[in-house]
Each structure stands twice: as C-alpha cells, then as structure tokens.
Structure 1
C-alpha cells in the first residue's frame, strides 16, 4: 500500500520557511528560487488540506496548524539526518546504542571505554541517558546499564557491581572536626537521592538511630547533582565513592563518617532477549563484565545479598 507521505522536498522547504518565517530566506538557504519555495508549500497545503501560512503584503506567518506541524516536521527531519550521519560515519562497521544511568556513565564507564574501543575498533558505542526501565521495543537501544534489582521484563541481566553509600560533604561543614558522629550528621541538612528514598533511613538504622527527619531535605535525581549540592555546602549526601573519586582526591568533598551502607540493589547490564545473540553486543558484554569484575576485586565490592 502506498504511504500517504508528502514529498521530502516539500517538507524541507516548509521546515526552512517555518524556521525563518520567510519564503525568501528559505529560498536562499536551500539555493532555490522564491517561486519554487512557494510552489512546494502550496503543494504541501493542497496535500494536507490545510493552510500552513497566512500571506500578507508584509510577508508570511505560520497558522496555528502550521506551527504545530512545523515542530513535528523539524523533529522528524532531525532524526532522519542523525540516522544518515550515523551510517555515513561508520560504513560497514558495527555500532551499539547503549542507555546508561548518567553519573555511572560519565564517572565509571567513560574512563574505561577507550579500552573497549582499542580492542574493538570496528565498533562505535553511542551513549544515551536513561535513569529508569523502559520498553526496548519502543526504542533503537541495544542494551542498558541501570541501577535496580534486575527485574526487567524481556531482558537478560548481568550483574556489574553493588553500591556502597558513604556520607560526604564540603570540608567547610566539618569545621575543626576530622569526622562527624552519626548524631551530628542527623542535625545537618540531608541531601536526598530521589531514586534511593530510604538511603538515609537505612544508614541511620544500621547504627541504631531513629531519625524522624531522615527522609526530609531537597531531592535530586542524579548523584552528580548531589555532589554539586554537597560541594556548595547545601548539606550532606550519601554517595558511592567510586562516583566522586576526583572530588575526593581534590578535597572538594570529604568523607564525613566512615560507615557505609550497601544497597540491596546493584548496577546491571540489561540486554533484551532478542539481542542476546548479537556478536557485537556479546563482545561489549564480555568486556564490560571483565572490567566490572576487575573493579569489584580492587574495591572489595560484593554482589547484593
């Protein structure tokens, strides 16, 4: 069945004219005549059965329908361009579209990814931020690294590492103390991680403390946001040390108390079952599991119980 889609030339002409709010400027950008732009847009309006522009002596202006359609067309043309550039950039090579939880991706994965690229120069790994599970069937993603309990329908889970949370803060909050007691920490502003809402409660309870305000305080979705807030003396945060190694080394953050609490969840590589046999994905999986095992051994991190 023939698709009911306008011509690409008409859509490109419309997107340029809508962006510039001018047929003349669109013609200059596309190296066409103004009359050619007019014909393309008139043909598109006839195809759609709606008016996209209002014409006057002062120029053209998008109608409400034209404005709505221009946004959709621009988004689709951008997607087509990205796909074309991706194919042009890696002719005949493999690529992986990987979703990652942001701070883990920037602080742990990216510093090690060059090793994978050296071993597999024919593979390009593209990273996209995702913090929560999603339907792989609705995306072009090949796999995901996420933090959770590995309960993700339609996927195979591969454990990478668990998470040990330590209280950290700006050195200014320590004042003359080398470290703070749990009771002192309980009286400071507690910075909360929105995807770990019970972290502070678990930390205090593990030390026999019941702190009524353990779930109070500003909430941030990313550990990178927590780290920034803590560095700016907004409070104290529970963060895995491996995600803030540079901040700790440079003294912008300090460990306020040596007790750490291990989460009952972990970081996993999640591979949709339909992608398990992919040779490119298998190569990445094997490398990632090896890198994670090496890190766990060095850091003394155990799987979640």
Structure 2
C-alpha cells in the first residue's frame, strides 16, 4: 500500500514558517522565494484538508491544528536529520561506526563515565555516543534511546542488560569541617546538618542503622536532587553528605572533600547497563557494552 505522506519539501517549508511565524523568514532560511514557500504550504494544506495558518494583514499565525502539527513535524524532521548525520558520519568512517543514544544519571556521567570515554573513542573512533540526562526509570518505548546506565535494584520489564558495579556510599565533608574535631564518631555526625539525596531518602537512616544507631533527625536537612549537588554542598561546608564513592573519587584525590568515617553503606542499588530486548543484537551497543564491562571490572579491581 502506498504511504499517504506529504512531500519533504512541503514539510520543511511548513516547519520553517511555523518556527519563524513568517513566510518571508522561512524563504530566506531555505534560500527560496517567498512565493515558493507559499506554494509549498498551500499544497500541504490541500493535501491535509486542514488550514495550518491564519493569514491576515499583520502576517501569518498558526491555527490550533497547525500548532499541533508543527510540534510533530519538527520532532520528526529532527530525527531524520540526526539519522542522516549519523549515517554520513558512519560512511565517512568506511562504514565502521554508528551512534548510540544513551541515558545516564548526570553525576555518574560527569564523574565516572566521561573521564573514561576517551579510551572508548580511541578504540572505536567511528562510534558516537550521545548523552541524555535521566534521573528516574522510564519507558524506552516513549523515547529514541538505545540504552541507559542507571542505579537500581535490577533490570526493568522488557529489557536486558548487565550489572556493572555496586554502590558503596561514604560520608564526606569539607576539610575545614573535618578538622573541627580531632576524632569523629557516628554519633558526632548526627549533630551535623545531614545533606539529603532526593533519590535516596532513607540513605542516612540505613547508614545509622547499619551501625546499630537510631537517630531522630536522620531524614532532616537540605534535600538535593543530584549527587553532584550533594558533594558540592559538602565541599562548601554546608553539612555532611552520604554519597557513592565512585562519584567523589576526584574530590577526595584533590582534597576538596574528606571521608569523615571509614564505615561504608553498601546501597541496595547497583549500576546497570539496561537496554530494550529488541536492541540486544545491535553491533554498536554490543561494542559499547563490552568496553563498559571492561572499564567497570577495572574500577572494581582498583577500589578492591
């Protein structure tokens, strides 16, 4: 059956005119005449049987139907452009390449993954990894994402994946706060502002309980969304943070943060590479997953 699709030229003209709210500016962007844009949009409206623009003395404006269609068309053209650029890049590498759309939690990406990604690019220069920030689980069917690296208790329904590493959490504070006492005990921490992670609301309670302590204010304190915010707040002396060790290695090495107590809390979450079942056969994903396995194994060996 023949597809019922408008021409790409008409869609491009419509998207540009909708974005600029002007046929003249759209024509300038597309390097065609204004009359050519008008003809393309008129043919599109005839094809659809719907008016997309209101014409008036002061110019043009989108109808309600035009607004909805403009959002949809812009998203689809962006996807086509992205796929086209990916294919062109792959062709430029002799066909040995591709791209990967990866969802990541922001702090893990900036503190752990990105510092290591240069090694991946050196081994696989034809593969481009695109990052999207996601802090919560999501449905792959609602996205164009190929995979996700996410801390959780297991794989998501309808997905496959692999375990990368556990999540040991440690107590950190600024050097000045750490130096305010010669010795620290778990009970001492209960007297400090406890910086809270929005994604780990019971982390401090579990840490104190693992040491046989019950603390009334274990869930009180400033609440922050990202671990990068927690570590920065701790570095600024705003309190003590309980964060995954892998996300503050750089700060500990530079001295911006100090581990207050040696006791760790092994979180009930682990970091997983997760992907939809239908993506499992992707050569690009398989290449990235194998490299990520090696990097995670190397890190686990380094930290013991």
Corresponding residue number in structure 2 for 1:48: 48
**Which residue, 166, 173, 191 being the options, matches 1:169?**
173
**Which residue, 262, 265, 278 being the options, matches 2:266?**
262
1:1-305 alignment, distance < 5 Å? 1-91=1-91, 92-95=95-98, 96-174=100-178, 176-178=180-182, 180-300=184-304
Q: Contact (CA 8 Å) 2:52, 2:62: kept in 1 or not?
A: yes
- Find the residue that maps to 1:239 and give its secondary structure: strand
Task: Kindly report the root-mean-square deviation, in angstroms, between the aligned alpha carbons of the 2 structures.
Answer: 2.5
What is the Cα deviation at residue 200 of structure 1?
0.4
Counterpart CA distance in 1 for 2:158 and 2:60 is 51
Q: Contact (CA 8 Å) 1:179, 1:255: kept in 2 or not?
A: no
- Find the residue that maps to 2:42 and give its secondary structure: helix
Counterpart CA distance in 1 for 2:283 and 2:256 is 43
Q: Contact (CA 8 Å) 2:155, 2:274: kept in 1 or not?
A: no
- Find the residue that maps to 1:12 and give its secondary structure: helix
Q: Contact (CA 8 Å) 1:97, 1:140: kept in 2 or not?
A: yes
Worse-matched range after superposition: 76-85 or 131-140: 131-140
- Paired residues, number: 300
What is the Cα deviation at residue 295 of structure 1?
1.4
Unpaired runs of at least 5, structure 1: 301-305
Counterpart CA distance in 2 for 1:59 and 1:154 is 50
What is the Cα deviation at residue 85 of structure 1?
1.0
Counterpart CA distance in 2 for 1:29 and 1:280 is 35
Worse-matched range after superposition: 60-69 or 196-205: 60-69
Distance change (3 Å), C-alpha of 1:77 and 1:236: same
Q: Normalising by structure 1, report the TM-score.
A: 0.86
What is the Cα deviation at residue 263 of structure 1?
1.3
- Find the residue that maps to 1:90 and give its secondary structure: helix
Counterpart CA distance in 2 for 1:15 and 1:79 is 14
Unpaired runs of at least 5, structure 2: none
What is the Cα deviation at residue 204 of structure 1?
0.9
What is the Cα deviation at residue 104 of structure 1?
1.8
Following TM superposition, the consecutive aligned residue runs of length 4 or more in structure 1 with deviations greater than 6 angstroms are none
Once the two structures are superposed, what CA deviation does each residue of 1:233-280 show, in whole Å capped at 9, x if it has no partner? 333211123212222233332223332111132112234444444444
Distance change (3 Å), C-alpha of 1:214 and 1:294: same
